[in-house]
Amino acid sequence: MQAELIEIRNHLSQHEPFDELPDETLDMISSQVEVAYYRAGTDISEFDQPSTDLFYIRSGAVDIFRRSGELYNRLGEGDIFGQFGLMMKKTVRFPARALEDTLLYCIPGDVFQELWKTHDSFADFVEIEDRTRLRTAVSRRQKSNELMNVRVTRLISRPPITAPDTIRLQEAARIMTHEGVSALLLMDESRTPHTMAGIITDRDLRTRALTEALPSETPVADIMSSDLISIRSDAYLFEAMLTMLHNNVHHLPVVEKGQPRGIIGLSDIVRYESQSTLFVVSNIYRQKDVKGLKAVSKDVSLSFVRMVNEDANSHMIGSAMAGIGRSFCQRLLELGEEQLGPPPVPYCFMALGSMARDEQLIVTDQDNAMVLDDAFDPAQHDEYFKALAKFVSDGLAACGYSYCTGDIMATNAKWRQPLRVWKEYFTDWIENPEAQSLLHSNIFFDLAGIHGETAFTDTLKQLVAEKASRSRRFLAMLARNALNRTPPLGFFRTFVMEEGGEHNKTINLKRRGTAPLSDLIRVHTLACGSTAQNTFERLKAVAETRLLPEGSAENLRDALEFIAIVRIRHQALAIEAGRAPNNSVRPEDLSSFERRNLKDAFQVLSNGQKFLRYRYHAPTGRP
């Protein structure tokens, strides 16, 4: 093959939709290509003229227009155009003009038609536009993971074994032994239809009955878990996994139309969840000291990498990592209370930021606070909570969760306050908003109670939801802050990279991607009065209103998922290579598929920020 044809073939093979074609097909295309050169400002094609070729940009830049003359898209090296004319009426649908001196590969229409008819991957690519292509990329990945596609009912092998909640311990143990089950559902038979009152497991019999030497005639209701955690029969396995993670339960009743259909156990999930995230959590709660927790923390990276390699989506991975992080916090709080004694007044340990949103990854610090009962007296009680906060913070640091550089931790007395003070904090932030103060308090609008009196945090969430939706000035200021971090796209749809320093010529996918997406979605969520915390759940809540233009919520979801998963895979690859993971990627290290879809995702973010500025009349300029 001539050198020129080899160069054409090699370049085509690096870009979609040619990168999945067989070698012999690429050879055929290369032999048919004609090379054309257009000077800057030259029209390449005009509306309604005959469409004869598919154009591939070898170098340069091309503007694509609508028939009205409005700029539709800006393309660069490796992009194609002209496909819609070839597929439709054989006339140009979107005129094209060279923005700068441009070299094109012109692929004849009959070659295009052959590729379109015989290669599914080629047809899929040329038939859809950018937003649809991004959605296809996201859904294709999600379909490859069984946890996201298998319903929990797949794991039910028999109806649940039940008994009245009025029976005694000995009878409960006899039923469980006879039926060969490790969990017994207890029903309230005083109601019609009967309702679930609680559950008792083998572990309950050991730790609550035998260890305490309770008489065999003790009512089972005395030791059953009555605050029952269950899951719907139409839920997926990953939802069951996250429910077990969040609540540290090993048995989960499956409910259909209000009635139990079966019970799934930890071992059932593990058949699909080979990365053993649930085992990591279970192991955390077995540790007796910080040294033991530190040893377990080494398994977190392994669990993360396995989830990535098994094609889990970003929501699953973020929720699992947050569940692990919460478990470290909860166990440290338990150990701290054992060491310091019971708390003098009720309190809630509150997670903030990514842990609260269920979006924590492997590169993270600790952001937390304490909400204390209003009976809190600093002179009498603060030494205890100060010591407890330090114990937890130091323990988290030992387990790999670095100290917050902004000192947003419960060790800071400002963030260790009674409920009434927290109400004052949020009220002041919302009713007297200032861009600078909101910039520092932004993280507090992602909050979750993870230990103690979690109702305190629920109260704060409700206060925020009610007040924020009524304060236009607050939303405008929050929107202004959400516009501070822009996507890394230049005017020519090229990547704008960091300059200088350790991460020179890279893109920070958190600072320029997932973080600004989370910021803008948070504003919409507060505007519609939702208490949702996870960004995907927030989008779902916003989509139920008419706040966003049609299709915007879906586009934002796809953009968030794609940027997040590229970031996640980058971190997993670093761990496997023995490097410290981070959020910065070099475009040349990404595949053409990733580069193209990242541009689409960043464009969605850019459009979302434009709408945010318009919707909330956000002031311009940095605070």
Cis peptide before 193 (omega within 30 of 0): yes
Q: What is the mean pLDDT of residues 47-66?
A: 90
Q: What would the two tokens of residue 35 be?
A: 């090379």
Identify the band that residue 274 occupies on the pLDDT scale cut at 50, 70 and 90: very low
Tally Cβ neighbours within 10 Å of residue 550. Answer: 8
Q: Range with the lowest mean pLDDT among 135-144, 459-468, 526-535, 575-584?
A: 135-144
Residue 133 has pLDDT above 60, yes or no: no
Distance separating alpha carbons of residues 538 and 584, to the nearest angstrom: 26
Listed residue (55, 5, 129) closest to 555, CA to CA? 129
Note every long-range contact of 115-123, with CB atoms under 8 Å and residues 24 or more positions apart, other chains counting: 115/21, 115/25, 115/29, 116/86, 116/87, 119/20, 119/21, 119/25, 121/17, 121/20, 121/21, 122/17, 122/18, 122/20, 122/21
Q: Give the span between the Cα atoms of 537 and 533, in whole angstroms.
A: 7
Residue 122 has pLDDT above 80, yes or no: yes
Condensed to tens digits (0 to 9), the pLDDT of residues 9-19 reads: 989 988 888 98
Burial class from Cβ neighbours inside 10 Å (0-12, 13-18, 19+) for residue 68 reads exposed
Q: What's the pLDDT band for 330 if we cut at 50, 70, 90? A: very high
pLDDT of residue 514: 95
Provide φ and ψ at 207, rounded to 5°: -85, -30
Q: Check: CB of residue 188 under 8 Å from CB of residue 194.
A: yes
DSSP string, 481-531: HHTSS--SB-TTSPBP---SSTTTT-EETIIIIIHHHHHHHHHHHHHTT--
Asked if residue 552 has pLDDT above 80, the reply is: yes
For residues 577-606, average pLDDT: 87
Spatial separation of the C-alpha atoms in residues 523 and 476, rounded to whole Å: 9
| Sign for the pseudo-dihedral over CA of 138, 140, 142, 144 | negative
Give residue-wise pLDDT tens across range 569-589: 999 999 988 899 999 998 888
pLDDT in tens, 146-186: 566 678 888 888 899 999 999 999 999 999 999 988 899 99
pLDDT of residue 428: 94
Question: What does the pLDDT read at residue 137?
Answer: 58
Q: Phi/psi zone of residue 382: left (φ > 0), alpha (ψ -120 to 50 degrees), beta?
A: alpha
Strand-pairing partners, residue 253, are 263
Residues found in the chain = 623
Neighbours of 279 (CB within 10 A): 14
Please, which residues bridge with residue 57 across strands?
Answer: 104
* Residue corresponding to tokens 């940027």: 563
Evaluate whether 29 touches 116 at the Cβ level (below 8 Å): no
The pLDDT tens digits of the residues spanning 346-366 come to 999 999 999 999 999 987 889
Domain 3-127 has CATH 2.60.120.10: yes
Give the pLDDT confidence score for residue 233 in this predicted structure.
Answer: 87
Span 191-217, mean pLDDT?
85
- Pairing outcome for strands 507-508 and 584-585: antiparallel
Edge-to-edge strands, sheet with 53-59? 34-38, 102-108, 53-59, 80-81
CATH class in words for 151-270: alpha beta
Q: How much of the chain exceeds pLDDT 70, in percent?
A: 93
Amino acid sitting at position 578: G
3-state SS, residue 255? strand
Give per-residue pLDDT as tens, 499-525.
Answer: 777 777 899 999 999 999 999 999 999
Cβ atoms of residues 254 and 262 within 8 Å = yes
Average pLDDT, the chain: 88
pLDDT band at 271 (very low <50, low <70, confident <90, very high): low
- How far is CA 581 from each of CA 363, 364, 405, rounded to the nearest angstrom? 7, 10, 19
pLDDT at 34 over 90: yes
| Cα–Cα dist 109/101, whole Å | 24
Average pLDDT of the residues in 434-446: 86
DSSP, collapsed to helix, strand or coil, labels residue 272 as coil
The full set of domain ranges for the chain reads 3-127, 151-270, 279-616
Tell me the C-alpha distance between 3 and 5, whole Å. Answer: 5
222 or 371: whose pLDDT is higher?
A: 371
Paired strand residues for 164: 187
Q: Is 420 exposed, middle or buried (0-12, 13-18, 19+ CB in 10 A)?
A: exposed
Any idea which of 190-194, 315-319, 427-431, 605-609 has the lowest mean pLDDT? Answer: 190-194
What pLDDT score was predicted for residue 385? Answer: 97
Confidence of residue 74 (pLDDT cuts 50, 70, 90): confident
What was the pLDDT predicted at 194? Answer: 86
Q: What whole-number distance in Å separates Cα of residue 254 and Cα of residue 268?
A: 13
Q: Would 3-127 and 151-270 be classified into the same CATH topology? A: no
